[in-house]
Amino acid sequence: MSNQIIFCSTQTARKNYKCDACKTLLDYADFNELSFAEKRELVKAKRDNWEIKKGQAYIRAFMKDNRSTWTFRARPEIEQICQDQDMWID
């Protein structure tokens, strides 16, 4: 069974969070295939220490698989790059 999204919303961060999409992008991206604009978003995320900073908008999804549940948090720009690079498992 693959991951299932139970609930997804856009939130404003009330504290700093690690960006889960940043970790995925760093682990699996072919940086030669990224556009200049995508690389610019990566530089911004790196400058923020791969975090969603307090006051920034972020995507929050409550996820589940056959064994556990968890909350996925991501900067929208980085999550979009992951979608464009087809990094998410269907």
pLDDT digits (tens, 9 = 90+) for 28-49: 878 888 999 999 999 999 999 9
Domain ranges of the chain: 4-84
Task: Give the integer Cα–Cα distance in Å for 17 and 25.
Answer: 16
Is pLDDT at 65 greater than 90 in this prediction? no
Which whole number is the average pLDDT over 9-19? 97
Name every residue whose Cβ is closer than 8 Å to that of residue 40 and which is 6 or more positions away in sequence: none
The two tokens of residue 54 are 């307090």
